[in-house]
Structure 1
């Protein structure tokens, strides 16, 4: 039997005595495979270290690495403030107003870098602190592990590694505050539980059922962001089923939840069959973007239960507005709704004949999409920049 000899980091308390600060897990203890880590994320951590700023991979990326999965996204946290990070990385941009972050760009890939938050920070305000305060601000133990890819060590301030080993979703913030501060955490708890197979601890489950109505007061932008993460996760069917059990679906997608309530078993079967096909599409070679996800979500409404179910020719503009109303409070971009509607209209007959599988993108299919909404006013002739006439280069004289 292997005996773990854990290293412990100590700090000086207010009383001047040494107190336990963090547990450090080394490579042979946590088992993270370095080859699963994005090279650019390592470059960012290394450059910050070289300029005197400790930096760590944090959050869902560490959780995925512990599960032996290659993370889709990498978040990094450091003591460097946004303006300092911006100076160190020319390929970066500061975003956010209430809480500023830095996005570092590598082609189409974005790696998010944030600054340690203070325990005194409320909501999403710019109050910076140290790493221990930052850990105490995070939602669940399994999301509060800090991994250094240079030293191959995990820093654990909140017993998050024990939570991982016990396969549980446990809150760090007291249950009386965790959802009142940010109701979207209810959706995250469900999503993390489904994606990992970990159980949500009983006090947290009870609190979700009791406070599910808080989700209705969330800003539409944050609710939309989380809803799309669920839809394109490849596990949307399982997550939505659990959301329905906790009465979260009726606040995230109220029109769809209402249809399920009144449509009986048949409506429920069609809804979750569409999500099952969406998950299969996400895992396929072509994948699924947000527009395709919306198409799967809205197909049954457009073709069977909505106002256009019995109409031979569906008017595009009216159907477009109807889909936007059906999706509220989710607010996708206009172009995403357009593309979703066009995808659906092209497959209407096949969908009614074959069911949800008709919406799948085939490997050989190439479908350019043009906007079907009224175009903006065309440019007048001769407007815009003139193209310069290209003159043939004169041959260079040979020596």
Structure 2
């Protein structure tokens, strides 16, 4: 998409291959698009998010044509699927520079398409302050990717939405408080669709910080197991709480097993019926015998 991430490395002779004058852009410290603008952003609007992210993480300013194309094509993000937006925001929150990236996305009027509830919050500086604390924690855990990916997912959501939430656990039972906070988190991060396990984890953190213990039977989602190299892929799942989901009982599959014996018993009945039919056919032949005697 951009020259600064278009370098190739040849391991046989240890050389960098530069087909797009990327080294010149590195020396000039600029983010330049390889493809023509704004057609590149119309083809894949997510490139606008990446452009802002690259600018923040490298410290390189965006070229004027990139800025102009982002302002012109910002509304193209409205047609991007929620799964892709979720993936990009997840990368931003785990980058260690989420506060700066979110601020720049808001400046370029892109944040409203990723996190509309956050973008219209009047005290947006409180969100930035919360994300700065998260960024410090992420930098400490940068060497342990697994801990950043799995152990911090719920905490990332908390840092993003807690400053704009209304928490009143004392007015409700723990179960009702959990449902209320869970619903608030889902609404505030819409249209993003992270796993419910991460949303539940965020709700637990928020309530525990408010002094409310969450009963285990409130936790229904299962922890997604992501395979290496396949972001977002869900294979086997582990229980988050002790109570399984309704309709997931093992007895349902066990009860279905005896049905397999049905076809064999039916086939046996058919075999028994064939013998009487053969006898009946033999009886129809006998009336011809008296005719031959006459």
TM-score range, shorter chain: 0.5 to 0.7
State the Cα distance separating 1:302 from its structure 2 match. Answer: 3.0
Instruction: Work out the CA distance in 1 between the residues paired with 2:28 and 2:48.
Output: 20
Residue 295 of structure 1: which of 136, 158, 164 is its match? 158
Contact 2:169 2:177 in 1 (8 A): no
Partner SS for 1:244: helix
Counterparts of 1:115-126 in structure 2 under 5 Å?
Answer: none
**Counterpart for residue 50 of structure 1:** none
Q: Which runs of 5+ in 1 are unaligned?
A: 1-138, 351-368, 385-399
For the pair 1:273 / 2:136, whether they are aligned, the reply is: no
Gap change, CA 1:327 and 1:312, over 3 Å in 2: same
**Counterpart for residue 138 of structure 2:** 282
State the Cα distance separating 1:301 from its structure 2 match. Answer: 3.0
**Counterpart for residue 56 of structure 2:** 194
Query: Which has the greater radius of gyration?
Result: 2
Counterparts of 1:184-333 in structure 2 under 5 Å?
Answer: 184-258=46-120, 260=121, 263=122, 267-285=123-141, 287=148, 289-303=152-166, 308=168, 311=171, 313=173, 315-333=177-195
**Counterpart for residue 283 of structure 2:** none
Contact 2:32 2:66 in 1 (8 A): yes
For the pair 1:344 / 2:223, whether they are aligned, the reply is: no
Gap change, CA 1:233 and 1:372, over 3 Å in 2: farther
Counterparts of 1:126-137 in structure 2 under 5 Å?
Answer: none
State the Cα distance separating 1:349 from its structure 2 match. Answer: 4.7
For the pair 1:158 / 2:20, whether they are aligned, the reply is: yes
Deviates more, 1:188-197 or 1:341-350: 341-350
For the pair 1:180 / 2:36, whether they are aligned, the reply is: no
Q: Which has the higher contact order (CA 8 A, sep 6+)?
A: 2
Q: TM-score, normalised by structure 1?
A: 0.51
Greater strand share, 1 or 2? 1
State the Cα distance separating 1:339 from its structure 2 match. Answer: 1.1
State the Cα distance separating 1:319 from its structure 2 match. Answer: 2.7
1:282-309, CA deviations, whole angstroms, 9 ceiling, x for partnerless residues?
Answer: 12246453222112112123346xxx58
Gap change, CA 1:251 and 1:375, over 3 Å in 2: same
Instruction: Work out the CA distance in 1 between the residues paired with 2:72 and 2:52.
Output: 15
**Counterpart for residue 140 of structure 1:** 2
Gap change, CA 1:214 and 1:197, over 3 Å in 2: same
Cα RMSD, aligned residues only: 2.7
Partner SS for 1:154: strand
What number of residue pairs does the alignment pair up? 220
Greater helix share, 1 or 2? 2
Gap change, CA 1:278 and 1:142, over 3 Å in 2: same
Runs of 4+ in structure 1 deviating by more than 6 angstroms, as ranges, are: none
State the Cα distance separating 1:317 from its structure 2 match. Answer: 2.5
Instruction: Work out the CA distance in 2 between the residues paired with 1:329 and 1:200.
Output: 27
Instruction: Work out the CA distance in 1 between the residues paired with 2:62 and 2:50.
Output: 11
Q: Which runs of 5+ in 2 are unaligned?
A: 142-146, 213-238, 256-294
Residue 371 of structure 1: which of 233, 241, 265 is its match? 241
Instruction: Work out the CA distance in 2 between the residues paired with 1:238 and 1:201.
Output: 18
1:5-29, CA deviations, whole angstroms, 9 ceiling, x for partnerless residues?
Answer: xxxxxxxxxxxxxxxxxxxxxxxxx
Instruction: Work out the CA distance in 2 between the residues paired with 1:373 and 1:276.
Output: 36
State the Cα distance separating 1:153 from its structure 2 match. Answer: 0.7
Contact 1:338 1:371 in 2 (8 A): no
